[in-house]
Amino acid sequence: MNHHVALVAGLALLTSAASAADQDIYDLRGYYGIPPDYEVTDSGRDDIDGGHRLGVQHMRNFTEIGDVGGWIWGAEASLSFVDDQGVEAFIPAITGLVGYAYQLQNLENLHFEGTPYLGVGLASIDGTGDDSELYLEYGLRVASFWTFESNWQAGIDLRLHRADADVIDSSGLLACFVGGYRF
């Protein structure tokens, strides 16, 4: 009888470990974003089209994603391109994210993330009198992802975004369309 109890307990432990591993977030993602409009601070020109943003993001949990969620961290590299009203900008940036993730217990393919973020880059700008300047971005991010049985992902990432450089700045909603893979 004790052997059966030990066997059942062992199987239960393995099953719980496997289901906890299924809830781990270890994702590599790519995204296309539409940044908010820019303003050239020294000329009064505003409503410069925010252009396009391409990025690669890695996200990982550092606590277990349990019934009430868990803590996550990540990093991303992005390229932003602006070309409007005589202003051309190319902005490579590195951004760090730390926050919280929640996975629905009755729908395990869906999870949500909320993170503040901070990034730094170098903005190469033509049409404002400067060639390149330090770029800083920060804000709050909420995202939702569906992970398919094949581990591929699709999601949306919305950010209350603020970006500052010496000559241009931007604030507003940054919407990103995301595709990725869970390892």
The confidence band for 23, taking pLDDT boundaries of 50, 70 and 90, is low
For 86-99, the pLDDT digits (tens) are: 889 999 999 999 99
Domain boundaries defined on the chain? 25-182
CATH of 25-182, one of 2.40.160.20, 1.10.4190.10, 3.30.9.10, 3.40.640.10: 2.40.160.20
Lowest mean pLDDT among 6-20, 39-53, 97-111: 6-20
Residue 117 has which token pair? Answer: 């973020």
Alpha-carbon dihedral angle through residues 88, 178, 156, 23, given to the nearest 10 degrees: -140
- Minimal CA–CA distance to 25: which of 103, 131, 87? 103
Yes or no: say if 113 and 142 are a contact pair by the CB < 8 Å rule: yes
The confidence band for 179, taking pLDDT boundaries of 50, 70 and 90, is very high
Q: What's the predicted TM-score (pTM) here?
A: 0.83
What gap in Å lies between CA 56 and CA 28, rounded to an integer? Answer: 7
Max avg pLDDT among 13-22, 41-50, 134-143: 134-143
